[in-house]
Chain A
Amino acid sequence: MPSIKTRFTYRFIRAVQKLNKNRGVSSSMKETYRRYHMIRVASYASMASAVGSKRAWSQAVLRKIRNHTLHRDLKKKCGIHALIRRRKVSENPRNNLNFHQENDLRKLVPGGEDMDFCRLLNETAHYIKCLRTQGLHPKTQLLER
């Protein structure tokens, strides 16, 4: 079973290749910015698909990307399931004392709005681990060429 790192690298490189094939050659600001955006989304998407749907954050990432592609106006945030989950989380009597940081963390971790604090910590740990491999290895290798 290949590690997450290799799986991610595989997908990411393929995505970037496809990007380069499709996009034009111009190195204008606009084009570069667009390419930057594509590459960033490709990075997160390949990371999330390398992780799979086992994790809540990867699920949330893939869901958001797909929703944004298909229904650009329909934001998943307003979906009924998300609403129910979020209400359940906010109504939780076992509220934490560190409310401020908790909220910030929820905003940072994808899909963090709908989970309780305990799960949020879980997802954060895994997210940090994957972010490390995402940011370090393949891109620096690519850039060094």
Chain B
Amino acid sequence: MEPKVEATELEYRSGICGLKPGDIGFDDIHGLISAPPPPPETSSSFTALLELPAPQAVELLVNSLEVADEFPAKPDIAHFPPPQIFPSNIALIDHASKFSSLPLADNSSENYSLLSVSSSKKLDIVKQEQMDSDSNPNGSSPAISDQILKSSKRKEREKKVKESNKKSKKVVQNESYEEGGEKLPYVYVRARRGQATDSHSLAERARREKINARMRLLQDMVPGCKKISGTAMVLDEIINHVQTLQSQVELLSMKLAAATPRFDFNPDTLLAAESGSLMDSSHPGMFTPSVWPEGQINGNSQQSQQLWHFDGLQPVWGGEENNSNFITPDNSFLSYDTSRNSAAASLHSSQ
């Protein structure tokens, strides 16, 4: 049994590596399994990888393959204990998948997706594999399904080995696996079925999700937006809302301008109402009631006229912005004003 198992192991291995069987001598593998492996000077990086992780990981891999061989007709997956997840183990499989031209589990109709994205952060590595049972070209293959979950997404590189009938796309951009000891730079992202998984589309997908999240936030902010479906409508609503708010600001400032030609308001009470902090006012707070209604009435009539003219006055941010110095008059302002003035004056005089 032993030699047969080992033979199949080696078959797997060489198949996995895509190397000639001569590269990895049988002795090497024996040595690797039993004892700490020798330094990988000449051999392929597969053995280099094997050297890095603990030998236990190698055993685990071996075990999984062994079980595959020994229990060919076992459909019950639950009995098989999921292998413990060592970072090294994942690195192994990663590396194996990198080099493999054959699928790792050599089952045809499976959906075995393994995506790894290397990242600079240390993340929890939990991997998910799913393998259906299928006939083995070698004639001995059960269903091994390990349930390893995915981790969060952090995209710098990604690598995917997908084995299925539909798509078998493999993008190998593996560079920093050697770092994997305790910390693994890989981040695994579960690829959804039928979706492309190269780096660009992943980035696209992440970006779209970000945008969708922000749109949802905006929907909550804008009243009456939650029922609307579709980005375009929601955006329209948002734009509408922003325009409404801006015109409100203008309206209020117009009212304020019209109503404050000459009254000194008392800021003490204003601020006291809000924050409880009193402000020193240089102007004594006094406005006679007589002034106020007059100013208000005047302001109202003026304001209604002015509103007709200032209808198109949206805050054009690049255009006729006025200074905030409150001292220097603006030439453009005056020129704008005179055109309005003539129309306004005619209206005013008609009243």
- Using CB atoms and an 8 Å cutoff, list the residues of chain A in contact with chain B: 2, 5-6, 9-10, 13-23, 25-27, 29-45, 60-61, 64-65, 68-69, 72, 75, 77, 94, 97-98, 101-102, 104-105, 107-110, 117-118, 121-122, 124-125, 127-129, 131-132, 134-143, 145
Interface of B is mostly: helix
Q: Which of chain A's residues have a CB closer than 8 A to the CB of B341?
A: 29-30
Instruction: For A20, give its contact among B214, B245, B264 (CB under 8 Å).
Output: B264
State in angstroms the CA–CA spacing of A116 and B132 once bound together. Answer: 43
Number of B interface residues, CB 8 Å? 75
Q: Is the CB–CB distance between B337 and A143 below 8 Å?
A: no
A27 and B249: CB pair below 8 A?
no
Given contacts A97-B231, A125-B217, 14 further A-B contacts (CB under 8 A): A5-B274, A17-B281, A18-B326, A20-B262, A32-B257, A35-B260, A40-B253, A43-B249, A105-B238, A110-B317, A118-B211, A125-B214, A131-B245, A131-B249
- Contact call A68/B322, Cβ cutoff below 8 A: yes
19 pairs across A/B with beta carbons < 8 Å?
A: A23-B326, A29-B341, A29-B345, A33-B306, A38-B326, A42-B326, A98-B231, A101-B236, A105-B238, A105-B242, A118-B207, A125-B218, A128-B222, A128-B245, A131-B246, A135-B249, A142-B265, A143-B252, A143-B256
Bound CA span A84–B88, Å: 46
Residues of B within 8 A of A (CB): 204, 207, 210-211, 214-215, 217-218, 221-222, 231-232, 235-236, 238-239, 241-243, 245-246, 248-250, 252-262, 264-267, 270-271, 273-275, 279, 281-283, 287, 292, 295, 298, 302, 306, 310, 315, 317-318, 321-330, 333, 337, 340-341, 344-345, 348
Given contacts A98-B232, A125-B218, A139-B256, contact A108 B246 (CB under 8 A): yes
| Tally of contacts, chain A with chain B, CB under 8 A | 202
A2-B275, A22-B326, A41-B324 known; A105 and B249 CB under 8 Å?
Answer: no
Q: Nearest Cβ in chain B — how far from A79, in angstroms?
A: 12
- Assembled-state Cα–Cα distance A135/B241 (Å): 13
Q: Name the contact of B257 in the complex, choosing from A36, A122, A137 (C-beta under 8 A).
A: A36
Q: Please report the C-alpha to C-alpha distance between residue A98 and residue B232 in the assembled complex, in whole angstroms.
A: 6
CA distance A60 to B218 in the complex (A): 21
Given A29-B348, A104-B239, A143-B255, A16:B260 Cβ within 8 A = yes
Given contacts A34-B337, A65-B324, A125-B217, contact A118 B235 (CB under 8 A): no
State the CA gap A41–B253 with chains docked (Å).
9
Please state if A39 and B257 are interface contacts (CB–CB under 8 Å).
yes
B residues near A97, Cβ cutoff 8 Å: 231-232
